[in-house]
């Protein structure tokens, strides 16, 4: 009951007053309302409007948001029309129609006049409690998506969801809230979509027709009514605009797409090296190993347990020589440890020195006043792994900088490649609900703001401190930060895993809608612990979990301290071989995955997608969440139930190829029952796609992408398009044009297939290599020309350039990459 937000009844609520005066400003409207209320409507873009309300008697806080990344929007043309009953603000894409009395707002499509979203009743506030509410009309056929991390199905219609970051190990479907709060959702009805982002970090509740037939309600226990309306009608457009507002994921290092191995905990150092040796000996691809909390001295952050890790620098060098990166956990709780009389901190290698008499992190943080305090000025002391602990006020710039300096000194300077921020809801063993914390005060740009409006922001600002510290102190390397909790905008600083999940098929099934919901909520780089953190699981679960995880951006095997080891070989050679198959598939597809990830960085549209994001007009996709798309090209239909060996697969309109055989399997708009033995993932390629790939490797830095392959799958018209994105995979040089983008397009005319390879764009220069173009579809070819010159026919076994017909019927053209435009004709 402590986690439940108030019911959305009308007790104590006072609606915003009627509009009494309208003032036009440069960017929008100011509506003066009865009894001293006011509403500001601001045009940020033709499809983006902000609405901010001030209720009678309310004092608004500083107009600042920790979630917002972009505030410098260019001026957008708009028009105003007034009548005795209504005020209408119009842009090229939308109309904001405001009824004067009572004050009700509706958003219409400018081209069609169709209402996409409208108030059901006036916004209201309880002046005694500070509770604010808004109610939108519920469409009879409306679907709802988003809200970030929710242990729920994709379509949130009829659901009730609370925003309150909570430490929830072992969560199951329906448990709410869990770790993260993203108060942004998308509505879709009859093919047209809109988005709403309520930028209020207090505990809030969304009810999408949960107990009513007429409204979708939002309520927060405090703060402001401050929301952004995103006009579609395309879902992808809304996601892109939302991530423009709250920030997009920076490019992650290429190794972050590799396989990652963890447990709670690997120690001593010899065990870490044993795991590394097993992976390499078994030819199981791996890029990253994790150190959980037992690498620290008595759980003190930014220290090392010298009995378990006597030489962390040497360990990092030895693992790096094997192509392995190391990521360490960093929790927010700093051990509360006043120094013993006369004790002094070490000056050099402070993280390696004994800390029992004096803990340098606590001493420094206290001296600089970096820790959270309560209303009476006292330190807030909670309890986490070190015992009594204090917590940093990350709303202070000085505290964020100090935190970043510490992690560089004690971790990244010793060879640690990334930071894993955990327990950052923040977890507190004394009280998981936040009730004990209500007297905590955050600096919040000098506003001295209460805890109630900052719990949901804590992880966002911790991740910011971590990311900005790495960026500042290692300017030649891309930061890699992962987080458990977060708020809107978290994607600017950290990638996301879904916390302490269960090793069950039910949890595996939940992965698909959770990843998809996170993706359309702005978080493109997501994943879950494989095959589950809590519980033993078995070999079948491990195999099926890797079949899903092979296509999630974040791929990590992880397990709890008291659970069975889950490295792939623990369940026997049969299941180990299946895991190897799908790891090798992932590494072969690195060029495609990296290209699709760059699209997410550039546009905000995620790699892991629900089908509705690509096929919005297809009603069959609107609540389909046991299949997913990888970019625009791949459709996966995994098995998520024990002992299941076949399943139904829905194919949207268009031509579909079986990934494994290259054969056309569907012309679209139908459901098929397909076989799925334990070692098989039903995986399909959308006709019209060109998918880049390369050879298998044991880690992402093992060798260049050579040969670089383009699998070409024509649509029904014989056309296909695709691209390849490349950069150095490690530095931020991509921001200044040091990348390479190659666009490839196929067209069919007069019995000739014409493949155009555009000249690469960008300054990145890859090593010398061959290109292979693989034409699927079964058409027999008798001749190939390249730039008007005949290309020699060769045997499949030859290593020279030329063309050949593969045993499965595909035609393969092999060329040297000369970094110029090419024209390949097949007849």
Rg, C-alpha atoms of the chain: 28
Scan for tokens 């072992």, then name that residue: 170
Lookup: tokens for 651: 């194919």
* Cα 589 from chain centre: 20
- Catalytic amino acids? 422, 425, 500
Give me the phi and psi of 448, to 5 degrees please: 55, 65
DSSP-assigned letters across all residues of 320-340: HTTT-EEEEEE-SEEE--PPP
Q: Edge-to-edge strand order for the sheet containing 38-45?
A: 19-24, 28-33, 38-45, 48-54, 225-231, 192-198, 184-189, 143-146
The secondary structure of 476-496, three-state, reads: CCCCCEEECCECCCHHHCCEE
Q: Which of 523, 562, 568 is nearest to 545 (CA)?
A: 568
Q: How far apart are CA 460 and CA 457, in angstroms?
A: 5
- Residue 693's H or E segment, with its range, is strand 689-693
Which one-letter DSSP state was computed for residue 392? B
Tally of CB atoms within 10 A around 581: 16
Instruction: Tell me the three state secondary structure of residue 325.
Output: strand
Q: Which of 373, 461, 474 is nearest to 421 (CA)?
A: 461
> Is residue 294 exposed (0-12), middle (13-18) or buried (19+ Cβ within 10 Å)?
middle
Provide the H-helix boundaries in 164-256.
Answer: 235-246
CA torsion, points 19, 22, 26, 27, in degrees to nearest 10?
20
Are residues 779 and 718 in contact, defined by beta-carbon separation less than 8 angstroms? no
Count Cα atoms within 13 angstroms, Cβ side, for 453. 21
Q: How far apart are the first and last CA of the chain?
A: 70
Are residues 774 and 806 in contact, defined by beta-carbon separation less than 8 angstroms? yes
DSSP-assigned letters across all residues of 653-669: SS-EEETTT--EEE-SS
Give me the phi and psi of 254, to 5 degrees please: -55, -35
Are residues 608 and 551 in contact, defined by beta-carbon separation less than 8 angstroms? yes
Q: How far apart are CA 637 and CA 656, in angstroms?
A: 13
Lookup: tokens for 161: 């969801």
Q: Which of 685, 692, 822, 688 is nearest to 755 (CA)?
A: 822
Q: Which of 151, 157, 239 is nearest to 197 (CA)?
A: 239
Are residues 711 and 737 in contact, defined by beta-carbon separation less than 8 angstroms? no
Provide the H-helix boundaries in 744-810.
Answer: none
Lookup: tokens for 9: 């009844």
Scan for tokens 């051990």, then name that residue: 335
């Amino acid at each position: 009951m402590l986690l439940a937000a108030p019911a959305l009844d009308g007790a104590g609520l006072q609606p915003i007053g009627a509009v009494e005066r309208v003032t036009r400003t440069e960017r929008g409207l100011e509506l003066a309302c009865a009894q001293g209320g006011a509403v500001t409507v601001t045009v940020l873009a033709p499809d983006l409007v902000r609405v901010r309300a001030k209720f009678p008697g309310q004092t608004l806080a500083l107009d600042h948001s920790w979630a917002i990344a972009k505030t410098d929007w260019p001026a957008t043309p708009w028009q105003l029309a007034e009548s005795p009953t209504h005020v209408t603000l119009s842009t090229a894409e939308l109309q904001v129609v405001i009824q004067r009395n009572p004050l009700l707002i509706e958003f219409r499509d400018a081209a069609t006049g169709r209402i996409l979203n409208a108030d059901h009743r006036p916004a209201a506030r309880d002046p005694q409690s500070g509770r604010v509410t808004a109610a939108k009309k519920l469409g009879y056929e409306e679907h709802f998506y988003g809200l970030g991390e929710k242990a729920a199905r994709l379509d949130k219609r009829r659901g009730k969801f609370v925003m309150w970051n909570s430490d929830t190990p072992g969560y199951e479907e329906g448990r709410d809230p869990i770790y993260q709060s993203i108060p942004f959702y998308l509505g879709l009805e009859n093919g047209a979509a809109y988005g709403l982002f309520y930028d209020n970090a207090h505990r809030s509740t969304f009810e999408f027709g949960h107990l009513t037939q007429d409204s979708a309600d939002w309520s927060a226990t405090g703060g402001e009514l401050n929301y952004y309306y995103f006009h579609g009608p395309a879902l992808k457009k809304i996601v892109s605009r939302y991530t423009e507002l709250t920030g997009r994921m920076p490019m992650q290092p290429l190794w972050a797409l590799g396989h990652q191995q963890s447990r709670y905990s690997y120690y001593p150092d010899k065990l870490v090296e044993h795991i590394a040796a097993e992976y390499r000996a078994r030819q199981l691809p791996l890029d990253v190993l994790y150190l959980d909390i037992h690498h620290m001295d008595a759980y003190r952050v930014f220290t090392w347990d010298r009995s378990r890790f006597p030489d962390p620098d040497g360990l990092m060098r030895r693992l790096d020589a094997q192509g392995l990166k190391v990521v360490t956990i960093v929790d927010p709780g700093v051990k509360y440890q006043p120094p013993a009389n006369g004790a002094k901190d070490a000056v050099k290698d402070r993280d390696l020195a004994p800390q029992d008499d004096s803990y340098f992190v606590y001493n420094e943080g206290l001296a600089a006043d970096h820790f959270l305090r309560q209303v009476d000025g006292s330190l807030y002391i909670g309890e986490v792994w070190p015992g009594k602990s204090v917590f940093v006020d990350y709303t202070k710039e000085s505290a964020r900088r100090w935190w970043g300096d510490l992690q560089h000194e004690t971790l990244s300077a010793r060879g640690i490649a990334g930071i894993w921020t955990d327990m950052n809801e923040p977890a507190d063993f004394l009280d998981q609900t936040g009730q004990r914390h209500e007297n905590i005060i955050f600096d919040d740009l000098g506003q001295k703001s209460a805890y109630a409006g900052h719990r949901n922001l804590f992880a966002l600002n911790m991740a910011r401190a971590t990311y900005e510290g790495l960026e500042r102190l290692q300017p030649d390397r891309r930061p890699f930060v992962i987080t458990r909790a977060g708020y809107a905008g978290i994607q600017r600083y950290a990638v996301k895993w879904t916390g302490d999940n269960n090793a069950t098929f039910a949890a595996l099934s939940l992965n698909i809608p959770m990843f998809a919901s996170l993706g359309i909520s702005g978080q493109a780089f997501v994943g879950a612990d494989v095959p589950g953190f809590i519980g033993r699981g078995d070999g079948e679960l491990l195999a099926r979990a890797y079949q899903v995880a092979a296509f999630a951006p974040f791929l990590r095997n992880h397990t709890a301290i008291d659970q069975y080891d889950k490295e792939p070989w623990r369940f026997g050679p049969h299941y180990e071989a299946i895991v190897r198959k799908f790891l090798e598939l992932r590494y072969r597809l690195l060029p495609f995955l990296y290209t699709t990830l760059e699209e997410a960085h550039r546009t905000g549209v995620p790699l892991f997608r629900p089908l509705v994001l690509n096929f919005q007009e297809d009603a069959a996709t609107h609540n389909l969440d046991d299949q997913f798309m990888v970019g625009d090209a791949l459709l996966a239909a995994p098995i998520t139930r024990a002992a299941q060996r076949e399943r139904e697969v829905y194919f949207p309109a268009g031509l579909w190829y079986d990934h494994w055989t290259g054969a056309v399997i569907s012309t679209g708009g139908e459901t098929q029952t397909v076989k799925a033995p334990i070692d098989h993932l039903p995986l399909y390629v959308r006709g019209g796609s060109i998918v880049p790939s390369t050879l298998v490797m044991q880690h992402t830095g093992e060798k260049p992408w050579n040969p670089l392959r383009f699998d070409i799958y024509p649509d029904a018209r014989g056309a296909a398009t695709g691209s390849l994105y490349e950069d150095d995979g490690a530095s931020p040089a991509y921001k200044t044009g040091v990348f390479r983008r190659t666009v490839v397009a196929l067209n069919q005319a007069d019995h000739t297939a014409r493949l155009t390879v555009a000249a690469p764009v960008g300054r990145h220069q890859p090593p010398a290599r061959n290109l292979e173009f693989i034409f699927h579809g079964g058409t027999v070819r008798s001749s190939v020309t390249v730039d008007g010159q005949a290309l020699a026919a060769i045997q499949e076994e030859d290593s020279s350039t030329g063309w050949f017909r593969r045993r499965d019927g595909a035609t393969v053209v092999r060329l040297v990459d000369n970094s110029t435009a090419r024209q390949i004709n097949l007849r």
